[in-house]
Amino acid sequence: MKGDTLSGKQQLFCKEYIIDYNATRAAKAAGYSEKTAYEIGAQNLKKIEIKKEIDRITNNRAERLEVSADLVVQELAKIGFALKPGEFFAETGFNIELKDKIKALENLGRATGAFNKDESQSTVIKVTIGKPRE
């Protein structure tokens, strides 16, 4: 499917949505009413055809950029587990600030499912110590 069953607004919504994954902003950018943008955005994300189109666009972008989820997680881990804030990474050419490190660890935790909840609703953090798998 290449979006041919979607309306023009729906196709534009999909393209806008993958910019920042903000459905309200994407709905506004696609030409939906300011008043109904939040509601339309939420409704659009529930539509199977729109989900498929978003997945198709996202997968095409990932292939074009040669970016995988594993690569993103590896880079987050480099930032999150930097020895100290202010450390300079020669290979990537940037300094790590404490806020960057915290944000990287939060994103890494979400990506790896480290913040799953058990039946008692207490937070469970899964930690694996060892050499990364290849």
Does 78 lie in the same domain as 59?
A: no
Same domain for 40 and 99, yes or no, is no
Q: With respect to residue 1, please indicate whether it lies within any of the assigned structural domains.
A: no
Shared domain for 51 and 94, answered yes or no, is no
% of residues, the chain, pLDDT over 90: 34
- pTM for the full predicted model: 0.56
Asked if residue 39 and residue 83 are part of one domain, the reply reads: no
85 and 130 part of one domain: yes
Nearest-angstrom CA–CA distance, 62 and 65: 5
Encoding tokens for residue 47? 């539509």
Full residue range of the structural domain in which residue 53 is found: 8-65
Express each pLDDT in 35-83 by its tens digit.
Answer: 999 999 999 999 999 999 999 998 888 788 776 777 777 877 777 777 6
Helix, strand, or coil (residue 5): coil
Which among 1, 59, 62, 53 is positioned nearest to 26, based on CA atoms?
Answer: 53
Identify whether residues 78 and 53 lie together within a single domain: no
Tell me how many domains the chain contains.
2
CATH number at residue 28: 1.10.10.1400
81 and 52 co-located in one domain:
no
49 close to 1: Cβ distance less than 8 angstroms: yes
| Rg of the Cα atoms in the chain | 19
